[in-house]
């Protein structure tokens, strides 16, 4: 579990239990895991349960995620945005921090207590960006926020 106090964001301390992350465009580019992601996710998995959700467009998720302590959720080709939102609800939205980049990540990012949007090589959906709490320019910076939660507090406090 990861506890974070963010003055002005929530009255009570957040008690995060889950990290939910999109695969392609977020952890991977063109189906290939971004260098350094495996190590960061394994560090974070010591504090949070890591859930990777994907439509697996390139068919590489299982192979690319070998050796990472995570739960992989493969989604159908249809309604991925809705499926991701329901998955957040199933985990308990007040305990989820999520990271995504595309339109199909909008519900996941919006429903999570903290939603992070990435603007990487694939860009980011403006719809998802508008409902996120934090925007980062690469996945390693986003994962570093989770590894150093005072950075999240510094960004979101008011």
Q: What domains lie within the chain, and their CATH numbers? A: 14-56+66-151 (3.40.50.1000)
Question: Phi then psi for 75, rounded to 5 degrees?
Answer: -105, 155
Give the Cα separation of 60 and 135 in Å (integer). 26
Average pLDDT over residues 101-110: 96
**CA geometry: angle 142, 144, 145, nearest 5 deg:** 65
| Model pLDDT for residues 36-66, shown as the tens digit of each residue | 999 999 999 999 999 999 999 899 999 999 9
Is the pTM above the cut of 0.85?
yes
Determine the pLDDT at residue 118. 96
pLDDT in tens, 53-99: 999 989 999 999 999 999 999 998 889 999 999 999 999 999 999 99
DSSP 3-state of 54: strand
Q: At what angle do helices 139-147 and 149-156 cross, to 10 degrees?
A: 100
Please say whether the beta carbons of 153 and 97 come within 8 A. Answer: no
Provide the residue count of the chain. 158
Residue 100: which H helix or E strand, with range? strand 96-100
For residues 138-144, average pLDDT: 97
Confidence category of residue 10, pLDDT binned at 50, 70, 90 = confident
pLDDT for 11 beyond 90: no
Give, in degrees to the nearest 5, the angle at Cα 100 between 46 and 103: 155
Q: How far apart are CA 97 and CA 112, in angstroms?
A: 6
pLDDT, greater one: 155 or 76: 155
Q: What is the mean pLDDT of the chain?
A: 95
With vertex at residue 136, the alpha carbon angle to CA 96 and CA 26, rounded to the nearest 5 degrees, is: 65
Q: Smallest Cα–Cα separation from 137: which of 20, 34, 48? A: 34
């Amino acid at each position: 579990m990861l506890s974070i106090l963010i003055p002005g964001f929530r009255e009570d301390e957040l008690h995060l239990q889950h990290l939910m992350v999109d695969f392609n465009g977020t952890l991977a580019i063109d189906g290939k895991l971004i260098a350094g992601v495996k190590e960061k996710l394994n560090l974070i998995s010591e504090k949070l349960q890591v859930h990777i959700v994907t439509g697996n467009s390139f068919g590489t998720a299982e192979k690319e995620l070998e050796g990472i302590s995570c739960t992989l959720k493969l989604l159908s080709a249809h309604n991925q945005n809705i499926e991701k939102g329901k998955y957040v609800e199933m985990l308990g939205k007040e305990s989820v921090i999520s990271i995504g980049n595309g339109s199909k990540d909008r519900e996941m990012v919006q429903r999570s207590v903290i939603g992070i949007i990435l603007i990487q090589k694939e860009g980011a959906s403006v719809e998802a960006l508008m409902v996120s709490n934090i925007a980062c320019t690469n996945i390693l910076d986003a994962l570093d926020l989770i590894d150093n939660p005072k950075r999240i507090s510094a960004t979101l406090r008011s």
